[in-house]
Amino acid sequence: MSNPTMKRDTYFLTKAERAFIIQYIMDNPNLTQEQIGDHFGVAKSTISNLKKESRDRAYFEKEILRLTNQLTKAADNIFKLQNEILRLKRK
């Protein structure tokens, strides 16, 4: 996105604008919410909400990965147990 500043009359941001601001926040961790809000022409509370949104997204992505790994391990164990049952039935 080539436009570093988005002066807006409303607080409704597009998905692309939200993503751009979140990336800007991550790239500039030492800036205050007020400085970032001024840069993009949005309220400090909007920046606060975007920061929270990015933290929540990161948490849920990690949680999804953890649960997916847990599911894969459970499926592997079920497969092993099914094979063991078949092996025991053949005896």
Supply the pLDDT for residue 1.
44
Task: State percent of the chain over pLDDT 90.
Answer: 63
Tell me the pLDDT of the chain averaged across its residues: 87
- In tens, the pLDDT along 40-59 reads 999 999 999 998 888 888 88
What is the domain partition of the chain in residue ranges? 15-90
For the entire predicted model, the pTM comes to 0.55
In angstroms, the Cα distances linking 71 to 23, 57, 60 are 31, 21, 16
| Rounded mean pLDDT, 12-20 | 90
CATH architecture of the domain with residue range 15-90:
Orthogonal Bundle (1.10)
Q: Is the pLDDT of residue 11 over 80?
A: no
| Rounded mean pLDDT, 65-83 | 97
